Amino acid sequence: MKQVSIYELRDNLATYLQTLEKYSTPIVVRRYDRPIAVIMPYKQGNIFGDVEALFGFLGPKGESGKQSVNRIRRSILEKKRTQELRHKR
74/46 Cα distance (integer angstroms): 31
Q: What is the CATH number of domain 2-39?
A: 3.40.1620
40/5 Cα distance (integer angstroms): 16
Q: If you count DSSP H runs as helices and E runs as strands, how many of each does the chain have, helices first?
A: 3, 3
Q: Is the pTM of the predicted complex or chain greater than 0.75?
A: no
83/88 Cα distance (integer angstroms): 9
Q: Is 34 helix (H, G, I), strand (E, B) or coil?
A: strand
Instruction: Tell me the pLDDT tens digit for each residue of 26-85.
Output: 999 999 999 999 998 877 555 555 555 555 555 556 666 677 677 777 777 777 877 787
